């Protein structure tokens, strides 16, 4: 057995243990893929990021759930960039580029009322129709068909990671939701590794525009994500595509995590162009602690 130090940051919150936890491993170039996966499994967070050198960008980020490697992760990016910036490990410029499995993406650093904030560009949005069993879909979240709002379509959406976007009739059903993650692959037959992202347009905080939860794919080895950056970004593209198709842009706050005892906020900004959209999310992070984990080499 080997051991390694992991930094715990919470993203999308300035209060420790109220955002979305991410593990950050610095100087991970010597680790193998198998070791990264073993470390992420030992850490147990929804994502652990490994910081490695890049020949194509300022830094390369690799994201691992306890079960597999991810192409992109919003909250783990926020945590990692906050760690690197506050430790003085990034070039002294407002915008840096990160290498990910969906390409090189810019991260812009801003000072928002004395808080270090990161603005992250995501991949261009994609949508695919959901053609599965709606009753089973509702049941997989512990709900009934009548809890779903069919005013807008249920679709798979991605700005780097695929999730199923499901509009819900207000806040009340969110308190009754119980995810049955093992059911997801048999229901999401067109995209069996996708996660589920129920959301609504009623919010707890009046400054927010959307409320959401995020249920992980069973392949991830986790159940629920407290505050989800990539899915929040694709919700912005969903808004311009289905809810307000004439608007040239949109910017709003997504709240998430209340049902898990968390309280995160994601600032979403989307700009429309002729053929596609540019999707950005912004947020902050906070250091929680450093800890050691053991893993098999």
Cα distance between residue 137 and residue 132, in whole Å: 8
Residue among 165, 286, 297, 292 at smallest CA distance from 232: 165
**Catalytic status, residue 275:** no
What are the tokens at 95?
């915008």
Residue among 160, 21, 29, 37 at smallest CA distance from 79: 21
Name the catalytic one among 35, 47, 224, 255.
47
Cα distance between residue 160 and residue 100, in whole Å: 10
Question: If you compute the radius of gyration of the chain from its CA atoms, what whole number of angstroms results?
Answer: 18
Burial class (CB in 10 A: 0-12, 13-18, 19+), 278: middle
Helical axes 74-86 vs 229-238, angle rounded to 10°: 120
Q: 3-class SS at 240?
A: helix
- Supply the residues annotated as catalytic: 47
């Amino acid at each position: 057995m080997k051991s390694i130090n992991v930094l715990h940051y919470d993203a999308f919150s300035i209060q420790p243990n109220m955002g979305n936890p991410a593990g950050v491993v610095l100087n991970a170039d010597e680790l193998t893929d198998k070791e990264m996966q073993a470390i992420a499994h030992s850490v147990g967070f929804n994502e652990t990021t490994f910081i490695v050198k890049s020949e194509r960008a300022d830094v390369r980020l690799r994201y691992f759930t306890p079960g597999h490697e991810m192409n992109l992760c919003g909250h783990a990016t926020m945590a990692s960039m906050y760690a690197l910036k506050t430790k003085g490990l990034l070039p002294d410029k407002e915008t840096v580029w990160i290498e990910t499995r969906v390409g090189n993406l810019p991260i812009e650093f801003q000072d928002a009322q004395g808080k270090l904030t990161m603005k992250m560009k995501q991949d261009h949005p994609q949508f695919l129709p959901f053609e599965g069993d709606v009753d089973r879909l509702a049941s997989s979240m512990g709900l009934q068909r009548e809890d779903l709002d069919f005013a807008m379509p249920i679709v798979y959406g991605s700005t780097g990671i695929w999730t199923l976007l499901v509009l819900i009739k207000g806040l009340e059903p969110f308190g009754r939701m119980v995810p049955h993650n093992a059911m997801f692959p048999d229901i999401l037959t067109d995209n069996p590794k996708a996660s589920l992202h129920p959301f609504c347009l009623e919010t707890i905080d009046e400054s927010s525009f959307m409320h959401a939860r995020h249920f992980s794919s069973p392949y991830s080895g986790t159940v629920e994500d407290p505050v989800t950056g990539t899915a929040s970004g694709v919700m912005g593209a969903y808004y311009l595509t289905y809810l307000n198709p004439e608007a040239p842009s949109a910017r709003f706050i997504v709240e998430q995590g209340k049902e898990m005892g968390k309280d995160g906020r994601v600032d979403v900004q989307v700009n429309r162009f002729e053929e596609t959209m540019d999707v950005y999310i912004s947020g902050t992070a906070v250091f929680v602690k450093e800890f050691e984990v053991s893993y098999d080499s």
